[in-house]
């Protein structure tokens, strides 16, 4: 991306960066071999120049918040709607950003027509979806979240349409299908509440260790890191290290840290401390490739709609003003030498 903030980005007039006096987060992360990313609301990207400018300036990897989910891509069976994602990829390319593809196989946000597919056809339908999508973006997606949220909290496989129809083998098949469609993409398993060493992350660990043993093309594990100041991870470094020891990459894929509303300076500082701990865990793990915040500004956050009485989960407030969390990330990326990479 050009250093000159007056260079226009695709499809909008140039807008001065919010933190024009400071280096972008992406530049601070680069010496560590770490990609710094955000989830992107495509409506805000199209309609809000300030939002768009900050995405273009600050981040070197982007994830479509919803536009690459199955229900959005194929709302009618056999009819794909690629327009929004094509615009998203054009934006990313224009700003030198790598894309995380989210997500291929999930029990949620599937098209309504899927409910009418007979169980004995679901395997072929899923394979077609995975390979059509991956081939569409072949060579343009850095990391794919191939399978998303397949585990219950107790470490057992979630009872989904895929498990019921296809059995547990669907997990390995999904990675094989994606790899066939794009052999160069990095393929991730992704889940929430797996930041700590716990029953759920143990289940994920056992799965991916077995996939590695079977030479299934899995390359990484994503920990979402949807956190709160009341329930912050305590064993994330140890957890990431055990996946690292399997030869797998890791990534913090959807970080946000919610607080009880209304926020105040004490809660904001506590939030910053959680963000700092998430980033440090990634920096301490040689094969942790990227750190992605799930939307950087409270203006477009999903959190208040899902967690009653909680919110203010981003690193910027609703007016794009930096919070202590933004400062915490910048400080940790600014200090210290480049980390050791394996």
Which positions are annotated as active-site residues? 149, 254
Which of 326, 313, 318, 316 lies closest to 261 in space, CA to CA? 313
**How many DSSP H helices and E strands does the chain contain?**
13, 10
Give the containing element (helix H, strand E) for 227. strand 226-228
Q: What is the largest CA-CA distance in the chain?
A: 59
Taking residue 47's Cβ as centre, other Cβ atoms within 10 Å add up to 11
CB 201 within 8 A of CB 224: no
HEC states along 66-87?
Answer: CCCCHHHHCCECCECCCHHHHH
Residue 256 — φ and ψ, nearest 5°? Answer: -150, 155
Of 178, 151, 86, 142, nearest to 292 by C-alpha is 142
Report the run of H or E that residue 18 belongs to, with start and end. none
Residue 313's SS3 state is: coil
Cα 199 to its chain centre, rounded Å, is: 22
């Amino acid at each position: 991306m050009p250093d000159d903030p007056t260079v226009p980005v695709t499809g909008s007039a140039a807008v001065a960066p919010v933190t024009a006096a400071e280096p972008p987060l992406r530049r601070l992360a680069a010496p560590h071999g770490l990609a710094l990313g955000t989830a992107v609301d495509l409506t805000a990207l199209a309609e809000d120049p300030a939002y768009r400018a900050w995405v273009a300036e600050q981040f070197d990897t982007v994830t479509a918040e919803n536009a690459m989910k199955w229900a959005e891509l194929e709302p009618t069976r056999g009819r794909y709607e690629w327009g929004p994602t094509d615009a998203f990829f054009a934006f990313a390319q224009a700003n030198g950003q790598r894309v995380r593809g989210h997500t291929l196989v999930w029990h949620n946000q599937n098209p309504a027509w899927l409910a009418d597919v007979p169980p004995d056809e679901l395997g072929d339908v899923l394979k077609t979806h995975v390979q059509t999508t991956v081939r569409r973006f072949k060579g343009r997606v850095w990391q794919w979240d191939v399978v998303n949220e397949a585990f219950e909290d107790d470490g057992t496989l979630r009872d989904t349409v895929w498990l019921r129809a296809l059995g547990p083998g669907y997990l390995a098949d999904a990675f094989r299908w994606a790899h066939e469609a794009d052999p160069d993409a990095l393929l991730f398993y992704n889940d929430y509440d797996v930041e700590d060493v716990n029953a759920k992350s143990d289940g994920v660990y056992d799965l991916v260790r077995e996939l590695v043993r079977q030479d299934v093309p899995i390359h990484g594990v994503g920990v979402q890191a949807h956190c709160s100041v009341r329930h912050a991870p305590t064993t994330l470094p140890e957890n990431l290290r055990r996946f690292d020891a399997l030869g797998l990459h890791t990534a913090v894929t959807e970080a946000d840290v919610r607080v009880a509303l209304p926020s105040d300076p004490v809660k904001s500082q506590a939030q910053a401390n959680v963000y700092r701990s998430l980033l440090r865990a990634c920096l301490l793990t040689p094969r942790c490739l990227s750190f992605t915040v799930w939307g950087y500004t409270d203006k477009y956050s999903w959190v208040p709609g899902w967690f009653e009485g909680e919110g203010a989960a981003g690193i910027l407030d609703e007016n794009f003003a930096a919070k202590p969390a933004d400062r915490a990330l910048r400080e940790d990326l600014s200090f210290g030498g480049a980390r050791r990479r394996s």
